[in-house]
Each structure stands twice: as structure tokens, then as C-alpha cells.
Structure 1
Amino acid sequence: MKMRKADVIIIGSGIAGLYAAYLLSSKKKVILITKGKLDHSNSILAQGGIAAAIGKNDSWKHHFQDTIIAGHYHNVEEAVRCLVQNAPKIIQQLIDIGVTFDRDHHRNLELGREGGHHNRRIVHAGGDSTGKIIIEKLIKLIKPHVTIYEDEMVYELLTHNGNCVGVITKNMQGEYFIYQADHIVLATGGIGRLYPISSNDHTITGDGIAMAYRAGADLIDLEFIQFHPTMLVHNSIPFGLVSEAVRGEGARLVNQKGELIMEGIHPLKDLAPRDIVARTIYLSMQNGDQVYLDISIIKDFTKRFPTISKMCETGHIDINTGLLPIAPGAHFIMGGVKTNAYGETTLKGLYAIGEVAYTGVHGANRLASNSLLEGVVFANKVAEYIFMRPKKNIRRDPMIPQIQKLKLSLPEIKEIQDVMMKNVGIIRDEASLLFAKEWFEQFLPKFHSNMIIDLSFEEITRLNMVTTGWLITTSALKRTESRGGHFRKDYPYSNDEKWLKRYIVRRSEENEFNQVKNVTSTVLH
């Protein structure tokens, strides 16, 4: 089995992983491993921009407040403060590396507005191509300085005496490799492809969460899953995400009768937090309605939103009707591998950044355009921390794991997706969750330390999907309340949600910052 060594191993090629690689490669030997191509990630698909309180009459406190409200008071305040206070610096950092953000005719940064934001504070690049422009720039920057392995899947994290000391991988040709490093950084993204309709890249199947669980790291808040309200879906086929920026420019959600479905639901109407909008659309569809995004008010739609316009062409959807057929789709998980303020997990030597990590910034529901921001903020934090760490005196030759040829019974990907959507989807209850939990448990193998089962790429993916699906379901059973991205119809309201509705109306009272509360989180390990 071939051995490769570095100072830092980064797993994943989204904005968090690439930015960390860019920063760390100035002083460290960095290897980046991705199971697909370097440009396969959720980040490159991100149409929305980056939220930063840089406009007139805006402040980090307003950004903080909107983040906490969207997160249903489940956020870690320290982490949110770190996120929003660093946001303007992050925009400047990206400008400094050559990212060209959209500007008005006065050369000022153009600021958009999205759901849950009370101010225009979203910075975009290329209209609805922000993620693509940033990722392409980062790839160019890291290629000369970082060793990159594509089409290679990290199989398991390797541990020794309570430390994460390396990883084992398998490439498309079936070859195994062992990597060793002082610092292993998970940046594998979320879990979107556990569901049949998703905004996520096809590679995003919960791998990092499953590997961290098997290695013994703590996981937290996995029940909180955000469904983006507006996936472009025609004849039951999803064609991609319709950015919230479209509603920020005045588009409205309507049914086939032309009725505005968000009227009377929330004070922000179509720009309410995503969990509320997604549930409203879902319930309308359950009642037999077709839901559309009415874009007729937006001038020069094709110029303003070129990516969405191209998706409409692909799906043979006529933009000239002014109506885009939409449905909610799995978008983002707020929970993940538990970390501290510097990305350290509970397993020494293992770090997590980006969507796979739980930093506490998102609470029970992520505020729009805080995800790219989180990736860069915590890439900075983990790089800063790793630079400060002394050289470790740990064993650099972990025990070579046993590779066993066992036949696993694993369900097909479509089966997993159907079970998740039907039982652990937008609206849940105990009976459905118990069914899903028992269904997943019949496929979970028994592992012991440093045991590797010889599986194909697809089988590894399905094993990780089963493991992560079970973890999400178990977490959802434990939380007997409805909050943010976790809605239990058998526990429909909590006192905090009733207070939230009053608080949104009285938002101008800034002294209510002090009333923000957190609740105890579910921790699995």
C-alpha cells in the first residue's frame, strides 16, 4: 500500500477547503484530496453571494440579529459575532486575491437582499455566478503550491492513541493509499444528495459526517436540515437552484391561480427565513397546488440572472411566461462535526470547516448568503491555529488497517433518497422517524478499530449515505420540538417560536439583543 506524507491533508474542494489550502500552503506542505474533480462542489454552484454589513445604515449588529432570528435563537452567539464582524474583512480579502465583485456605475459594490435580511448586504460576482467565480480564482491560486489528488475517495480516518494521524483512500483504479499528516482538515460539504431533489453537487453524500462518526468525533444538531424553497423543477425533474436574490429583486411566490402564497404567513412575506417559506410551499403542494415564482416584475432577467436563464433553457421552460415552476429541495445542514472557534474537533488532529462542520453560526436555520462567508472565515481560523501549533510528537506510522472482503447488503441510492424524503423530510413525526431509523439499522455493519471493508466507490458512497441517514434520523427523534429546519408535526410549536413571531414585529428594539437564547443541543458520538 503506497504511503504519502504532508503537514496538512485537506479533504474536499469547496470554498472552505480551497481557501484553507491557499492560506496554509504559504508555510506548510499541503495535500488536497477530492473524490470528484477539483471543481465539483456546492460552492461552485452557489448563485447567492456573501453577506457583509458594508452598506449605509447597516452594521454588524443588524447582520448578527438577522442571523440569530433566522437561526431560531439556537446559534452560538460568540461564533455568530465572529462571523459577522469578520465579513467586511472577508470581502476585502477576496478582492485582494482578484475576485471581481459586481459594482454599480459609481464603482461601489452592488448590494442585494435575500430572505431573512432586513438590509441590502449581499455582495455578488457575475450576477448569479458568485461561487463559480471565487472557486475558479482559488483553483488557479493553489495549483502551483498544493499537491492535488482528484477522483480519489477518502475511505476512513486513521487514528492512533486518540489522535487522527492520517487517512486511507481508494482511487478509481481500485488502488489504496495511506496518507499521514499532523493536521487532517475535513471540508467535505453537507448531505444534500441524501434527498431526491437537491441543490447540491452529486458528490455531496454525507461522507465527512460518516467518517468522523466512525472515527469517534462528536457530532451535533444533525436534525436541522434546510430545504431551499425554490429549486427549478419541471415535470418532476430538478434543473438547479433559483437564487433567493430573485425574490430579493421583487419576484413573488404564487400558485396556479395567481394567489400570493406567502401573504399573511410572515411579516417578511416572500423574503421570510427559508424554513418558513419551504414549509409553506410544501404544504401548498400537498394540497394539490402548483407553485411558481412570478418573475414578471424583474427587468432584464436574462442579463441579471444568466445562470438561472440557462437552466430554464435546458429544462425547456419559457421565461417569457414570467412564471418559473419551483419546489423545495435539500440545500444545507446546519449541524455537523462539532468544532471549537478554530475548527478543532473533539478528535485531536482532526479539524472541520465549511458545511461539514458545526460552528454554531447557523443555529436551527441558516441565513441566506452566510455559507460562503462561513467557509472563508473559518478557513482563516483553522489556518491561523495550525500555524501556531508546535510540531507533534505522535506516531507517524499508523497501524496499517485490515482490508477485509466482506459482502455488505446496502440499499440503492434512490431507495435511501426516497426513505429520507418521505420520513425525514420537510415535515416529520415520530412514527415516520422510527420507521426510517429501523430501516437504516438493518444495513449498518459492525466496525472495529482500523477495520476496512473492501468496497467499490459506489458502495462506499452508499455506506456513508446509510450511516449519515441513520445519524440524522436518530437526532431528529431526540429533538421533540419544532425549530428551524426541524419541523415535527407531532410537536408543532415551541414557546420560543411563539416569542419569535412577536420579536420579528418588534425588531427595531435593539436592546432585545440581550434576549437571544440558546438551547441544549443533541450531541452524538
Structure 2
Amino acid sequence: MHADVLIIGSGVAALQLAKKLRQDLNVIVLTKSTVRDGNSYLAQGGIAAAIGENDHPSKHYMDTLEAGRFHNDLDAVMALTSEAPSLIKSLFEDGCMFDMDSRGSMALGREGAHRENRIVHGGGDATGKTVIEFMLSKTSGNIRIIENIHVIDLLVNEEDGSCIGAKGKDAHGKVHRFYSAHVVLASGGCGQIYEYTSNAVTATGDGIALAYRAGAKIADMEFIQFHPTLLYKEGKALGLISEAVRGEGGRLITEDGEPVMEGIHQQEDLAPRHIVSQTIFNLLNEGKSVFLDITAIENFNSRFPTITAICEQSGVDISLGRIPVSPGSHFLMGGILTDLVGRSSIPGLYAIGEAACTGIHGANRLASNSLLEGLFFGKRLAEWINGQPLLTMANPLRSLEQGGEAPVSLPAIGEIKRRMMKNAGIIKTKEGLLKQLAWLKEIQIEKWIKASWDHLSPDEATRACMLIASYLVTVSALKRTESRGGHFREDFPAEKNEWLRKRVIHCLITEKDGKNEQIKAEVAT
């Protein structure tokens, strides 16, 4: 099957790209589940944009850098925050229904680490659903969405190393090849490699693993954001409690009613996520329980209908005014290294959304910058592709195939998640990371990286992707001997100037003699 543009993933970045591409281009969107089963659809909080009377993109810029602990790409952040107001305006004028205030203007909420009210939301706490449904309603005839295709490999031209397509399996195990001059990975992050997560079950690091196997550069995988407030009951994380709740007056307290964030940070409950998450994690380790006190929020049920439903389904009575919470993995700041258009280190391969490492988020994403980043890079990449000559691939060149014998079996998903949470979670140590790396080597991770996956079922391919993502996170966390943003090393608890804006970059390298395939991680500015 051929396409002018092949998009793997179906979140906000993917759909924005598809929507903005020229209508004479044949576009195929592949998604391993359904188009409504992903992190974008689940997003509660909103989209950040400096559209308030007292706000300005320069303020949004500085808040983004502060949250990212200045590990950000400055040019990328400036471009994003400057264009955010026009992106919101364009969506609104096209018919996307954002929530309005009593004056008839877009209602603006506030979340952690924002110094101004600048969060646009839809459906109360269903912004992702609002935006995705709007974009699906605007899908034109040149776009074909194919669900339940699990991509297991990228196709790489053996002559010049360019990406020329992808190989995937359908629900019946049949292999399909999709060829395209432009292959875009918009497959999301890898939150599901952890035991506690807010992420959709589809967020297993697939695009990152596929890009790494194909030889693309991967960066900043040590920077995992843990959201402070997941609904927590009987040792299980049951859903996200949006930061917007704290923005509306919710406060974190212990079972005795003591404020959790008082004296910890000047912004208290609206401190950056990594600080709040680490504080709650330490209290839970001491055997204490942490709750979100919502008694100060009027009309909670109507303002947060999604959260209300999650609590009701989980048997948590919000009329008591307390929601039990715990931190869990939420967002990946790293991913496939790209430029400011979305191009990866492999010609013909692009990455946008959470699968990409664009430099926008630095070491820790500012709340509600994720949907914004998807909108921004979806539009920017579309503009670039629209300006390229139409390339035909009637006779695709022979592609390189992964080879080698795979190990006999894969560990269960539950075991992968538990080990990552314990050894490479919110607070990391050299001892724990080395233990995790030893386990990954014991199950022959390097063979899984290089082996053919043609024989794997979708479930097995998912586990293989999770293991590769786990490996990249673990090695990166070992390399970075400091704490910054979402990366906290108990044995190196301070930021170090020598690490500022230095990245841990991974690339699978095949030596010229054809004998020695090596997995390398380098540190680069």
C-alpha cells in the first residue's frame, strides 16, 4: 500500500498534521488500537496560551523554561509560545468548542508553575476529547484512518538509509507493508512501562523503539514526568486527577489534615510537578496517606465531570471532600531527536508529539504544553511537507530487514512495570539503576533490539517495545549524574552546571566491517 504521507499514531499531533496537509496528498493514518484510544483523547487539563489581558508569550516562555529547568531549546520554546495564541484562535474560529466565561470570552484556568491564568479547556476537564472529536469531524477525503494495525518495523532503504515505509500486523496477524516518502511517528510516549501511570494502555513506547531499531537518534530518555495526583486506592492508580483541580483551589493534605506543600516551594500546591511528586512519594514511603482536599471548589461535579465519573466508578465519595492520590508516570520529555520541523536523523522519517524530543519541554514539561506542542508541530511539519515536490514510490527499493534470532520468551507486562517503578522510578539511585540494567541484560535486551519481530504477536511486540524503552530510560538515567526536572538521583541530588543543556543521545550503530553491531549512548551539547 502506498501513501504520500504515512502517519503512525492518531493523537492530536497526528490529526493536526493530517488536517493541515494539502488535500492533493494521499494520507494514511495507522493506529494500533482505535482512534479514540490514546493519551490525547484522555487529556483533561487544557491547552496553554498567553491570551489573557495581563499575559504575554514572553511570560509563557519563561514559565516553560523554569519548569524545564533551562534544559529546553530556547528557539523552540520561543516559537511555540509565540504561536500559541494564533493556534487557539484558529481552532476556535474553525468551530472547536472551548469553555467560555460569563463575559463571553474563553475561560482561562491556571495550573502548576504557570504565573498567569492561561489554560484553555473544553468540556470542563475533557479538553483532549473535545479537540480530537473536532479534528475527526474535519477529516477530509484524502485521509484514510486504518485502526488495529500494530506497526512492528520501519522499512529502511538499504542503498541510502532513508525511511521508505513501515510494516505492520492487523488483528488477524496478517503482515501489511506501507510505503511512503514521508513516514511520521506520532505514536506517543511510554508511560505504561511504569506500574503507576495516567497513560492510556497504548502508550508503550512503540514509535521510539521502532525508530531506535532503525538507527535514529534518541535523546533525553531519563526525563520522565510523574504526575503528582493519580487517584489511588488499595495500592492501585485508577485515573488522573488533573492539575487544574489544584489550580481551582484544591490542596494536598495528609490524613491528619496537614498541608503537604507548605514550606516546600513558594508556589506550594502549584509548584512544578517533579517537586510535588517527590514530596508526595516521600510521604507515602513513610507510611502516610495523601489526599487532595477539594472542599474549597464550588460546583466540583460540573467543573470536573470526568474526574467525578472516575471517582464514582472507583468507589470514592467526593462529597467527603477528599480524594486519595499518588504520583505516577505521566509524560516523556525525551524521545526521537528532531529538528524544529520534526525531521529525525533518518531521511524521510519524522516524529511529532510525545514520541519526539523537540527540546520544547526541557527536563520537565510545563502543564498543558503537551496538546499545544502537538498542534504546533503538526502544523509546522505539514507546512514543510506541503512545500516539497510530490514524490512517487511506484517501485520501492529493497529495504533493510532486522535479523538475528530472538530470545525464547518475553517477561510479562506486569513484571516490566513493577521493576521499572521500583528501580528506575520517581527517585533513582545508582544501585537501583544497575539492578534494572542487569535484569535487562539477563533477558537479552540487545538481542531483542536487533532481532526480527516478524513472528511476534501484537502483545509480544508491545512487550518488546516496552523493554527497549525501559532500557533507554535506564541507561540515560545512569549517564546523567545530577538531578534536573523529572530526573531525580538520590545519590546526585543537585543540578550541576556542567550538565546544563547536555543530552544523553542513543543510537544503534552498525560498524562498517559488518561484524560488530554496537549500542552506544553519548553525551552531547
What residue in structure 1 maps to residue 5 of structure 2? 8
Please give the TM-score of this superposition, normalised by the length of structure 2. 0.93
Q: What letter corresponds to residue 207 of structure 1 in structure 2? A: D
What residue in structure 1 maps to residue 32 of structure 2? 35
Alignment map for 1:50-449 (pairs within 5 Å): 50-142=47-139, 144-160=141-157, 161-392=160-391, 396-399=396-399, 401=401, 408-443=408-443, 444-446=445-447
**Do residues 523 (structure 1) and 505 (structure 2) align?**
yes
Name whichever of 464-473 and 230-239 sits farther off. Answer: 230-239
Distance 1:319 1:390, change over 3 A: same
- How far did residue 149 of structure 1 move? 1.1
- How far did residue 238 of structure 1 move? 2.2
Task: Kindly indicate whether the alpha-carbon contact (under 8 Å) linking 1:401 and 1:450 is maintained by their aligned counterparts in 2.
Answer: no
Please give the TM-score of this superposition, normalised by the length of structure 1. 0.93
Q: Which secondary structure does the structure 1 equivalent of 2:183 belong to?
A: strand
Q: How many angstroms apart in 1 are the aligned matches of 2:434 and 2:406?
A: 28
Q: How many angstroms apart in 2 are the aligned matches of 1:448 and 1:309?
A: 42
Q: How many angstroms apart in 2 are the aligned matches of 1:185 and 1:225?
A: 23
Show structure 1 runs of 5+ residues with no match.
Answer: 498-516
Question: Matched residues, percent identical?
Answer: 47
Q: Which secondary structure does the structure 1 equivalent of 2:138 belong to?
A: helix
Q: How many angstroms apart in 2 are the aligned matches of 1:523 and 1:403?
A: 24
Distance 1:403 1:5, change over 3 A: farther
- How far did residue 519 of structure 1 move? 2.1
Task: Kindly indicate whether the alpha-carbon contact (under 8 Å) linking 1:222 and 1:333 is maintained by their aligned counterparts in 2.
Answer: yes
Q: Which secondary structure does the structure 2 equivalent of 1:7 belong to?
A: strand
What residue in structure 1 maps to residue 512 of structure 2? none
Task: Kindly indicate whether the alpha-carbon contact (under 8 Å) linking 2:482 and 2:496 is maintained by their aligned counterparts in 1.
Answer: no
Q: What letter corresponds to residue 421 of structure 1 in structure 2? A: M
- How far did residue 162 of structure 1 move? 1.2
Q: Which secondary structure does the structure 2 equivalent of 1:261 belong to?
A: coil
Q: Which secondary structure does the structure 2 equivalent of 1:55 belong to?
A: coil
- How far did residue 19 of structure 1 move? 1.0
Task: Kindly indicate whether the alpha-carbon contact (under 8 Å) linking 1:312 and 1:319 is maintained by their aligned counterparts in 2.
Answer: yes
Distance 1:434 1:77, change over 3 A: same
What residue in structure 1 maps to residue 511 of structure 2? none
What residue in structure 2 maps to residue 492 of structure 1? 493
- How far did residue 405 of structure 1 move? 8.2
Q: Which secondary structure does the structure 2 equivalent of 1:169 belong to?
A: strand
Q: How many angstroms apart in 2 are the aligned matches of 1:159 and 1:450?
A: 15
Task: Kindly indicate whether the alpha-carbon contact (under 8 Å) linking 1:71 and 1:366 is maintained by their aligned counterparts in 2.
Answer: yes
Q: Which secondary structure does the structure 2 equivalent of 1:31 belong to?
A: strand
Q: How many angstroms apart in 1 are the aligned matches of 2:142 and 2:129?
A: 21
What residue in structure 1 maps to residue 16 of structure 2? 19
- How far did residue 26 of structure 1 move? 2.0
Q: How many angstroms apart in 1 are the aligned matches of 2:153 and 2:336?
A: 15
Q: What letter corresponds to residue 350 of structure 1 in structure 2? A: L
Q: What letter corresponds to residue 86 of structure 1 in structure 2? A: E
Q: What letter corresponds to residue 291 of structure 1 in structure 2? A: V
- How far did residue 264 of structure 1 move? 0.5
Name whichever of 23-32 and 306-315 sits farther off. Answer: 23-32
Distance 1:266 1:180, change over 3 A: same
- How far did residue 239 of structure 1 move? 2.1
Q: How many angstroms apart in 2 are the aligned matches of 1:21 and 1:408?
A: 40
Q: What letter corresponds to residue 127 of structure 1 in structure 2? A: G
What residue in structure 2 maps to residue 476 of structure 1? 477
Q: How many angstroms apart in 2 are the aligned matches of 1:417 and 1:448?
A: 19
1:89-141 C-alpha deviation (Å, 9 max, x unpaired):
11012113321111112111111000000100000111101000111111222
Distance 1:78 1:11, change over 3 A: same
1:422-464 C-alpha deviation (Å, 9 max, x unpaired):
0110000111101111211233253798944410010000011
What residue in structure 2 maps to residue 505 of structure 1? none
Q: How many angstroms apart in 2 are the aligned matches of 1:267 and 1:114?
A: 14
Distance 1:319 1:424, change over 3 A: same
Q: How many angstroms apart in 2 are the aligned matches of 1:339 and 1:214?
A: 16
Q: Which secondary structure does the structure 2 equivalent of 1:182 belong to?
A: strand
Task: Kindly indicate whether the alpha-carbon contact (under 8 Å) linking 2:152 and 2:454 is maintained by their aligned counterparts in 1.
Answer: no
What residue in structure 2 maps to residue 503 of structure 1? none
Distance 1:402 1:415, change over 3 A: closer
- How far did residue 83 of structure 1 move? 0.7
1:30-51 C-alpha deviation (Å, 9 max, x unpaired):
0000000111110110001000
Show structure 2 runs of 5+ residues with no match.
Answer: 508-525
Q: How many angstroms apart in 1 are the aligned matches of 2:330 and 2:398?
A: 37
Distance 1:249 1:391, change over 3 A: same
Q: Which secondary structure does the structure 2 equivalent of 1:415 belong to?
A: helix
- How far did residue 27 of structure 1 move? 3.2
Q: How many angstroms apart in 1 are the aligned matches of 2:140 and 2:401?
A: 31
What residue in structure 2 maps to residue 504 of structure 1? none
- How far did residue 494 of structure 1 move? 2.2
Q: Which secondary structure does the structure 1 equivalent of 2:25 belong to?
A: coil
Q: How many angstroms apart in 2 are the aligned matches of 1:40 and 1:255?
A: 34
- How far did residue 73 of structure 1 move? 0.8
- How far did residue 399 of structure 1 move? 3.4
Q: Which secondary structure does the structure 2 equivalent of 1:382 belong to?
A: helix
Q: How many angstroms apart in 2 are the aligned matches of 1:448 and 1:75?
A: 29
